């Protein structure tokens, strides 16, 4: 669980383009916050700044009250699931899921236990020896989530994690992610350009447009307005 605060966060890229402007956002410890808005509005940039994958031009980001602006991604205890899944193609599913734990120096028996537990939870224990190219899209998506779960991070960031799935799988995967959030009761931040997805998944929805946060509200309040 992590309490996350964006305070007047701005990102201006090297070419001068301002992708995110004066972002203020306070995300609670067990929230499922959906960041929604059209392509190019600054959603991914916001997530990448929080994860430490992109520098901040001005403002501050706090995780549990600690300013993290200068911390490396690994020091932030946050896991990110990408739209492309970003699985390592030459590694098995097990190795993909174990990799970050190995980097952390987790003892081998613990790695075994944690990978198997996460795989069971996601229904992919039969796939642990396969390579990513031997998996369906839905299975790859689960492995990407599994790779995040094994780390037991304080927060999960997800950047359009379902957009490569067909419509039927996507509906199923949404329900599974909602369930997972309840079970882990930790901070989820979920990026999508899909309003239906935002409405069905978020406990709160943050609406972004052209780098500016327009509104933050519950789905009921946001979409029931006259
Ligand atoms: P979204 O995730 O909402 O689609 P992004 O955060 O990826 O939006 O991008 C926001 C804007 O910043 C877009 O106009 C994009 O083209 C621009 N952008 C992203 N990365 C860079 C970069 N490295 N340099 C310059 N502009 C960028
Ligand atoms: P997404 O699928 O999240 O919208 P994009 O396809 O927009 O991502 O961007 C892929 C990569 O290209 C990212 O690393 C982003 O930072 C970079 N990028 C996006 N737009 C620009 C841009 N206008 N100039 C330079 N780099 C960019």
With 80 as the cut, is the pLDDT of residue 147 above it? yes
Gap between the Cα atoms of 140 and 178, Å rounded: 18
Q: Are 71 and 28 in contact (CB under 8 A)?
A: no
* 73: DSSP letter: G
- Å from CA of 46 to ligand 1 middle: 10
Pocket test for ligand 1, best of 42, 43, 193 (most atoms within 8 A of CB): 42
Q: At what angle do helices 167-184 and 137-149 cross, to 10 degrees?
A: 20
Q: By mean pLDDT, which of 83-87, 179-183, 222-226 is the weakest? A: 222-226
Please name which of 175, 164, 199 lies closest in space to residue 81, comparing C-alpha atoms.
164
Backbone angles phi, psi at 55, to 5 degrees: -75, 160
Write down the residue that tokens 């600690």 correspond to.
Answer: 66
Residue 47's nearest CA partner among 56, 210, 134 is: 56
Q: Which among 73, 80, 5 has a CA at the least distance from the CA of 44?
A: 80
Tens digits of per-residue pLDDT, 77-110?
Answer: 999 999 888 999 999 999 999 999 999 899 999 9
Which of 11, 12, 13, 48 maximizes ligand 2 atoms within 8 Å of its Cβ, making it the mutation to test the pocket? 13
How far does the centroid of ligand 1 lie from the alpha carbon of residue 53, in Å?
Answer: 13
CA distance 76 to 165: 29
Atom number, ligand 1, closest to the C-alpha of residue 48? 6
Name the residue with the closest Cα to ligand 1, atom 17: 19
ipTM surpassing 0.90: no
The Å distance, Cα 113 to ligand 1 centre, comes to: 39
Residue keyed to tokens 């020896």: 129
């Amino acid at each position: 669980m992590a309490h996350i605060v964006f305070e007047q966060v701005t990102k201006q890229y090297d070419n001068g383009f301002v992708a995110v402007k004066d972002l203020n956002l306070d995300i609670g410890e067990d929230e499922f916050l959906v960041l929604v808005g059209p392509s190019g509005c600054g959603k991914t940039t916001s997530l990448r700044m929080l994860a430490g994958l992109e520098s901040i031009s001005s403002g501050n980001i706090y995780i549990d009250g600690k300013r993290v602006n200068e911390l490396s991604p690994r020091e932030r205890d946050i896991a990110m699931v990408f739209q492309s899944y970003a699985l390592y193609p030459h590694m098995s599913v097990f190795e993909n899921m174990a990799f970050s734990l190995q980097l952390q120096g987790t003892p081998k028996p613990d790695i075994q236990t944690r990978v198997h537990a996460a795989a069971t939870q996601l229904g992919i224990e039969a796939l642990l020896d396969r390579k990513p190219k031997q998996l369906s899209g839905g299975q790859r998506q689960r492995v990407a989530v599994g790779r995040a779960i094994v780390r037991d991070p304080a927060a999960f960031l997800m950047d359009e994690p379902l957009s490569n799935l067909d419509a039927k799988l996507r509906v199923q995967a949404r329900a599974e992610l909602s369930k997972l959030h309840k079970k882990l009761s930790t901070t989820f931040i979920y990026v999508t350009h899909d309003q239906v997805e935002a409405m069905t998944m978020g406990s709160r929805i943050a609406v972004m447009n052209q780098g500016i946060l327009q509104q933050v509200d519950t789905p009921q309040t946001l979409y029931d307005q006259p």
